[in-house]
Homo-oligomer: A and B are copies of this chain.
Amino acid sequence: MATLFETHRKLLDDALAATRLRTYWSAFPELPSGRIYGETAKADGAAAYDAYLAKSFPLPDHPGDDEAGGEVSPYGRALGIRYPSAAPAALIDAAKAAMPAWAETAPETRVGVCLEALKRLNVRSFEMANAVMQTTGQGFAMAFQAGGPNAQDRGLEAVAYAWEAMARTPAAATWTKPTGKDTAITVEKRWRIVPRGIGLVIGCNTFPTWNSYAGLFASLATGNPVIVKPHPSAVLPLAITVQVIRAVVADEGFDPNIVMLAAEEPGGELAKAFVGHPDVALIDYTGSSAFGAWVRANAGGAQVFSEEAGVNPVVIAGTDSFRGMCANLAFSLSLYSGQMCTAPQPIYVPRDGIDTDQGRKSFDDVAAGIATAIDKLLSDPARAAAICGAIAADATLKRVEDAPSLGRVVRSSGPIEVMDDARTATPLLLAIDAKTSDAHTVEQFGPISFVVAVDDADDGLGHAVAGVRQQGAITAAVYATDPIFLDAAEEAFAAVGANLSCNLIGDLYVNQSAAFSDYHATGANPAANSCFTDLAFVANRFRVAAARRLAA
């Protein structure tokens, strides 16, 4: 019978080839279509989700002497799901007990398990879409894509890199060093992959799977057991993930405690029990900069891979598609109500306006153009609900309520009509002047953005780059018709480690980052200390130990 590695070898090879070419490629179709996923997949996924509600979540053989949980959907409903809960020391002990066999098995075996788990997760993409939608507030389409196939692609990408990094060292070699005309020393050498220790994955509220899969699968593939600590408001997507992986692990004869869930009640601080623990060697963190700084400062000897907050700038120098630019920005600001780590916040516009295909546009024209495009995009409440989704956290809604005082309101935020039980807020757009305000330089997480008056395009670029250096950014965007300015922007943003999108119109948005082609974040500015996914993201998750024996 073929091993899982053999079964999925082509998938792995294709993924690796894609990361080298970086042209378009995807393993897991992002279209929520019955023709791809099966005609009953949508209904089956919804039913599977419903079946979890108000029950104990099934994680066979998972450590736990209690239960925890308390998710309330941003769409209104309390999920009532209870997850197994164990003392942190019990999870650490279980991980240590499971570790040796996982560490000692061949990399091929671990990679095969990871690939099989991703395939099984893909089959459950509709179920996952419901889980992600209801815990994060994303619209269904985004919850399906980002929570399912796109997250699976990021997981696969990480497995592919991990495999490349591990497979780079041969399992064995015969080393023969000439020591004279007819003499030599011959040594038989063998190398083993040595994992670092326990991996800790700290998930976020908004993208529980997409932001966790790269670290989770990279740590697993390289031999480290992983404790998954979800955000207490978004446990279910990672509980399903852990369930799927544990099943594959057990099927292959390993202790399922290779992967465990560390669930907690809302408001808990369970992560602090694991960060700095001497057995925790790897930490993948997505979340606020404040807690991220605490994690980095208290990680001890653990390697931390963190994605924290950024302030993603847009610089508008000019455009040959004013309508396209405004529509594109409107979508970027509206999508998931600005709760993406890749959403823009300050939009720098020259104080005396820009040249466009519609002639000269004043600063106010540009601000109004974006506001109008948002209004148009969200004019149908059903579509507004699908695009904006709901607001994940109360604090975000509060922030939107308080924000108008930060500038001149160009577009007010408001609730979305059809979503009575949900927390909703459409984009708030404020105008300010960089000469008199720096409100735009502080992260305002959620649907809050600023059109910022600057002296000219170069001044806007200067502000944007300074902001990236100071606060970090995961994305940056520029609109300009002058190729010299575009080149200068490319250099300037590269120097501060921000990924730049130029002149986007139509259906590609600055928010989007495609596995196998786009690195998500760079690790070169304060928004993140690593990226999805490069060699640096995987190579530090294991070491290599050698044994050499003098040949007879």
CB-contact partner of A508 in B187, B498, B499, under 8 A: B187
- How close is A295's CB to chain B, nearest CB, in angstroms? 13
User: Are the CB atoms of A501 and B173 closer together than 8 Å?
Assistant: no
Q: List 15 A-B contacts (CB under 8 A).
A: A20-B168, A20-B170, A165-B535, A175-B514, A189-B518, A194-B497, A497-B545, A499-B545, A499-B546, A500-B547, A500-B548, A502-B550, A503-B549, A524-B545, A534-B543
Query: How far apart are A171's CB and chain B's nearest CB, in angstroms?
Result: 10
Contacts A20-B170, A499-B545, A500-B548 known; 16 new A-B pairs at CB < 8 A: A22-B189, A165-B535, A173-B517, A179-B507, A191-B519, A196-B524, A486-B549, A490-B547, A498-B545, A500-B546, A501-B547, A502-B550, A503-B549, A503-B550, A524-B545, A539-B539
Contacting A495 at CB < 8 Å: which of B194, B495, B508? B194
Q: Is A109 an interface residue (CB 8 A)?
A: no
Question: Is B517's CB under 8 angstroms from A544's CB?
Answer: no
A522 interface contact, C-beta 8 A? yes
Chain B proximity mask over A166-201: 1 for CB below 8 Å, otherwise 0: 001110011111110000010101111010100000
Q: A499 — which chain B residues lie within 8 A by C-beta?
A: 545-548
B494 touches A192 (CB 8 A): yes
Whether A550 contacts B177 by the Cβ 8 Å rule is: no
Residue of B22, B505, B517, B543 touching A497 (CB-CB under 8 A)? B543
For the complex, is A24 an interface residue (Cβ under 8 Å from B)?
Answer: yes
Summarize A's interface: helix, strand, loop or mixed. mixed
Residue positions of A touching B, CB distance < 8 A = 19-24, 100, 103-104, 165, 168-170, 173-179, 185, 187, 189-192, 194, 196, 296, 301, 486, 490-491, 493-495, 497-508, 514, 517-519, 522-524, 529, 531, 534-536, 539-540, 543-550
Q: With A194-B522, A499-B545 given, is the CB distance from A185 to B506 under 8 Å?
A: yes
Contacts A196-B524, A539-B535 given; does A545 touch B179 at CB 8 Å: no
A149 to chain B, nearest CB (A): 13
| A507 surroundings in chain B (CB, below 8 A) | 179, 185
Residues of B within 8 Å of A190, CB to CB, are 490
Q: Please give, as numbers and ranges, the residues of chain B lying within 8 Å of A189 by CB-CB distance.
A: 22, 517-518
